[in-house]
Amino acid sequence: MSKAETNLWPFWLNSSNRTNENWLNIFTIIVPLFFVSWFIFSIKRQSKKKLPQPPGPRGLPLVGYLPFLDSNLHHSFINLASIYGPIFKVQLGMKDCSVVTSPSLIKEVLRDKDVIFANRGDPIVVARSIYFGSMDIGFSDYGREWRKMRKIFVGEMMSNARLDASFDLRKQHVKKMMYEIYRKAGQQVDIGELTFVTIGIERRVKMISSRCEAMFDSAINHHNMGDTNKQKDFLGHLLQLTKIEDPATSLTLPQVKAMLMDTLIGGSDTTVAMVEWTMAEVLQHAQVMRKVQEELAEIVGLDSTVEEVHLPKLKYLNAVAKESLRLHPPVPLLVPHCASEPSTIGGYSIPKGVRVFLHVYSIQRDPHIWEDPLLFKPERFLSGSATEKLDYLGNQFQYLPFGSGRRMCPGVSLAERTAMLVLASLLHAFQWKLPYGSVNIDTSERFGLVVKKAKPLLAIPSLRLSSLELYSCKD
């Protein structure tokens, strides 16, 4: 080997060492980067995989799930929940639906993704027929017009000032009811029918629509012919809004009629169901009736009739009403929600347009949430209990008789005042007993959007108040 080559040897040796070091450095950088990139790619790939839809029974073509024809659909849903879990899919007729039966998933729908599920979807036939093409607050889809109507409805008609101003009208109807019962004292009466008459509602949907529209037209004509400066009531205010050109605050005449129908039908139907179910439970529990009447005698007195000022003081009756609504929510599936865009509930895919039913009936009877859930125990809502602070505002998702979120019942305050006034008056002015030979009350249900008793509630009243003049319907 030449001297020159010998001199070059350390150079090549050093160069080779440096190259190896460079490759080692590159290797130690590239390999971790490769694994990190592969991990991120895998995660993204998994996230892009289509999530499954909720499990559920197979439906028949056109018909869908057969228990859809059953009168107790929500009972069928309880059985399905025990099989498929807290969310499942069913086909009702031609419609794909998802049913939610747990508080945490209902919170996901009504609180976390409220806007996505704020629509109603295709209106049901009843809504189209009596709500002027579903222009009302209950069944119309979420949007600018709906927000405007709800703001007017809640801010004007359901305000405390407006409800206070209309007390005399409610009191007048309750007095007429008491007089009718007074005339039938000792005879068998249909409590549900009496309540229907008191609230002002008929049973047939089409008859309701035609009669109410004629009534609305008459009232509107009366207002239009009168002095608009003196029209201070709710209808007068609504009619003034039809003359405003600003689309942000104006209403159309069909919208006015639909809002009036919301009050007459939507609120009345649920109130009647609440009164009838509560009276049925009280009649089956003599000790509850005794406690209610003792409280009424103390707060109101047997020489006076019930006024709305008494209602906040009737703590036990309030607990009775809450317990009745727990066992018998008027709308056990709530009014269905509809996904306005693809979304998820509980990790399951919910396609756009799918109707979502929130099964409050099963939640309010869930033994994992409620102690002795099938027993009628008003004490669970009294002071000192774990559930004393539960109210009708929909903030606790284990108790939602009127729903929650932006689509909850807008007439809760009116329904509460009316139902409590009717209940307090019935139980204060009269002693009630079952007809001769009757031991138990039939609690079977007639399924519909509002669930009522399948058979009329019959009972015999006797007088409790100190003076017969208190039963007069004259002021």
Q: What's the Cα-to-Cα distance from 213 to each of 206, 207, 219, 264, 448, rounded to whole Å? A: 11, 10, 10, 11, 23
Dihedral sign of CA atoms 275, 280, 282, 283 in order: positive
Q: Is the pLDDT of residue 427 over 70?
A: yes
Domain assignment of residue 408, given as a range: 72-471
Residue pointed to by tokens 């440096």: 18
* Domain-located, residue 47: no
Total structural domains within the chain: 1
- DSSP class of residue 53? P
Please state, in angstroms and rounded to a whole number, the distance separating the CA atoms of residues 112 and 354: 18
- Within a domain: residue 303? yes
Residue 177 lies in a domain: yes
Whether 64 is in a domain gets the answer: no
Q: Check the annotation: does 409 bind a ligand.
A: yes
40-44, 235-239, 266-270, 439-443, range with the lowest pLDDT: 40-44
Which of 51-55, 148-152, 205-209, 372-376 comes out lowest in average pLDDT?
205-209
Is the separation of the CB atoms in 34 and 28 below 8 Å? no
Between residues 30 and 349, the one the model is more confident about? 349
**For residue 14, what are the CA distances in angstroms to 7, 10, 11, 18, 20?**
12, 6, 5, 6, 10
The per-residue pLDDT for 243 is 80
In a domain, 1, yes or no: no
Q: How far lies 355's CA from each of 143, 177, 344, 416, 417, in Å?
A: 17, 40, 13, 28, 32
Listed range (171-175, 264-268, 373-377, 429-433) with the worst mean pLDDT? 264-268
Least confident of 85-94, 122-131, 148-157: 122-131
**pLDDT: which is higher, 310 or 41:** 310
Q: Is there a domain that residue 12 lies in?
A: no
Q: pLDDT for 321-360, tens place per residue?
A: 999 999 999 999 998 999 999 999 999 999 999 999 999 9
CATH assignment at residue 126: 1.10.630.10
Dihedral (CA of 392, 393, 398, 401) sign: positive
The verdict on residue 60 lying in a domain is no
CA separation for the pair 296, 154 (Å, rounded): 31
Q: Are 396 and 364 in contact (CB under 8 A)?
A: no
Residue-level pLDDT at 423: 97
Averaged pLDDT for residues 117-145: 69
- Range picked from 41-50, 61-70, 440-449, 463-472 for highest mean pLDDT: 463-472
Q: How many Å apart are CA 345 and CA 365, to the nearest integer?
A: 22
Q: Measuring CA to CA, which residue among 202, 180, 205, 207 is closest to residue 191?
A: 180
The answer, yes or no, to whether residue 8 has pLDDT greater than 50, is no
**pLDDT band at residue 248, thresholds of 50, 70 and 90?**
confident
Mean per-residue pLDDT of the chain = 81
Residue 125 lies in a domain: yes
Q: HSE (CB half, 13 Å, CA atoms) of 441?
A: 24
Predicted pLDDT at 350: 96
